Amino acid sequence: MVKTEKQLKILILSHRVPFPQNGGYAIVVANTIKGLVNTGHDVSLVALNAKRKSRDSRLPDEDLMGKINYRAYDIDITVTVFGVAANLFSKTSFNVDRYYDPEFEKLLIRELRNNDYDIIQFEGLYVSLYLPAVRKYSKAKMVYRAHNIENQIWERLSQQKVDPFKKSYLRMHARRIKNYEQQQLNKFDAIAVFTKQDKLTILEYGVKAPIEILPVGLRLEKYVADVSKTEFPSLFFLGSLDWLPNREGMEWFLDTFIKDITEGDLPVKLYVAGNDIPERFDDYEALGKIYIQGEVDNALEFVNSKSIMIVPLLSGGGMRVKIVEGMAMQKCIISTSLGAEGINFTNGHDILIANDHDGFFGAIKRCITDEDFCMQLGKNARLLAEKEHDINVVIKNLVKFYEACCKNEDQSVVNKTIV
């Protein structure tokens, strides 16, 4: 069918509901949907909804209601001791397998029978389980967006372990996920990544599909800094602590710096906020020094109220959306090299890089004693966000990528232009 220039018909498949936008994955997926809708494209979203999540989270933002075709399906992804034990004898990883549900697959097939899509975008590895069914019932171009290189997360986590059993167990899952990841990536028509590093990794896997680097995009008009409401000096971390790299990074930071913060070598308050903070983190609280706040009502207000963002990631991959948000909010950011991976930063100009105790100590000391330096770093970070992470530019390039995918199959769409 010949399409006009006005729209593409796009299906987004997500392993979690991206509403509300309270985490990096949700922010990226929701901003993509909003950007595509705002540029005139016909967008559908089919998402898995973990039963442990609040049912209220399944409701899209009001400005999207009525603009997208939206379906969510409850799924239980709880990890049980029995399930983990049984998986020891499997060739695949429980962390992937738990996202497969035959009833969701039936719902997806009904969706495909009723709609003729141009593009079907798989948001990450966990929904790639449904690729065979989607291929069978749709002629759309299959696009994979790599939020992370999943096996790298597990391999890097294993490197942080001292216990030989835990190290071996994590490496086993890293190998299984890598095998699955390599197999799946070779089955897609095109792949989108956030960073140059992820593109190079995928090319090393021998993937022949086109790979496009499309950085995290934000609606920058939402990110308005008000320094009159910012506490200086103050340190903060904001992120979901149900994501293992975040949790282990913050455990390292707290274990490493708790005495420095509470006994005065670093005279600054630390605020830890985010979803699913384990109860054991309450033990880190120190009256007037360290605050374990849990989930905050308004993430941007929280970010604005604090001055220095810390990102002590020791494992993980992809691009840290919270860093990009911090840049947009003019925050002074101290991150590990791994945490800032994929961001086009200049160390000491728009971000500070620290990879060990001495590095973090020196960076924090400098920032809490030099407010002008801290504020200038934040201003430079905002300029970088405007240059690299404007959602309008990212969506324009994403649509170009889609159109190139379609043209590879059907020259009848050569008359398409960017909306």
Read off the amino acid at residue 202. I
> 150-159 vs 164-185: helix axis angle to the nearest 10?
170
If asked whether residues 30 and 56 sit together in one domain, one would say yes
Helix (H) or strand (E) holding 197: helix 196-204
> What is the model's pLDDT at position 50?
83
* Distances 35 to 38, 43, 252 between C-alpha atoms, Å: 5, 10, 37
pLDDT in tens, the chain (419 residues): 344 455 899 999 999 999 888 788 999 999 999 999 999 999 999 999 986 544 445 556 667 778 999 999 999 888 766 566 555 656 677 788 899 999 999 999 999 999 999 999 999 999 999 999 999 999 999 999 999 888 877 787 788 787 888 888 788 888 898 999 999 999 999 999 999 999 999 999 999 999 999 999 999 999 999 999 999 999 999 998 888 889 999 999 999 999 999 998 999 999 999 988 999 999 999 999 999 998 898 999 999 999 999 999 987 665 689 999 999 999 999 999 999 988 999 999 999 999 999 999 999 999 999 999 999 999 999 999 999 999 999 999 999 999 999 887 543 333 333 33
> What is the model's pLDDT at position 172?
86
Which CATH number belongs to the domain containing residue 230 in this structure?
A: 3.40.50.2000
> What is the model's pLDDT at position 409?
55
Helix (H) or strand (E) holding 27: helix 24-38
Interatomic CA distance for residues 170 and 245, integer angstroms: 13
Count of domains observed in the chain? 2
If asked whether residues 138 and 87 sit together in one domain, one would say yes
Q: What is 97-108 written as a DSSP string?
A: HTT--HHHHHHH
If asked whether residues 397 and 376 sit together in one domain, one would say no
Is residue 419 one of the residues assigned to a domain? no
Is residue 2 one of the residues assigned to a domain? no
Instruction: Find the Cα–Cα–Cα–Cα dihedral 159, 165, 168, 171, rounded to 10°.
Output: -60
- Region of 264 (left: φ > 0; alpha: ψ -120 to 50; beta: rest) is left
> 24-38 vs 321-328: helix axis angle to the nearest 10?
70
Interatomic CA distance for residues 334 and 356, integer angstroms: 12
If asked whether residues 374 and 399 sit together in one domain, one would say no
If asked whether residues 210 and 66 sit together in one domain, one would say yes
Interatomic CA distance for residues 131 and 126, integer angstroms: 10
Q: What is 135-180 written as a DSSP string?
A: HHH--SEEEEEESS-HHHHHHHHHHT--SHHHHHHHHHHHHHHHHH
Whether the bond into 210 is cis, omega within 30 of 0: no
If asked whether residues 338 and 373 sit together in one domain, one would say yes
Residues 288, 224: contact at Cβ < 8 Å? no
Residues 386, 394: contact at Cβ < 8 Å? no
Q: What is the pTM of this model?
A: 0.87
Interatomic CA distance for residues 236 and 98, integer angstroms: 33
If asked whether residues 143 and 76 sit together in one domain, one would say yes
If asked whether residues 333 and 311 sit together in one domain, one would say yes
If asked whether residues 80 and 44 sit together in one domain, one would say yes
Is residue 3 one of the residues assigned to a domain? no
Cα angle for residues 192, 384, 27 (degrees, 5° grid): 45
> What is the model's pLDDT at position 164?
84
3-state secondary structure of 248: helix
- Which residue segment(s) compose the domain that 398 sits in? 9-217+390-413
If asked whether residues 25 and 90 sit together in one domain, one would say yes
If asked whether residues 280 and 378 sit together in one domain, one would say yes
Is residue 194 one of the residues assigned to a domain? yes
If asked whether residues 189 and 288 sit together in one domain, one would say no
> What is the model's pLDDT at position 418?
34
Q: Which residues 6+ apart lie within 8 Å of 240 measured at CB? A: 22, 23, 24, 246, 274, 275, 276
3-state secondary structure of 318: coil
Interatomic CA distance for residues 56 and 388, integer angstroms: 33
Is residue 74 one of the residues assigned to a domain? yes
Interatomic CA distance for residues 252 and 261, integer angstroms: 14
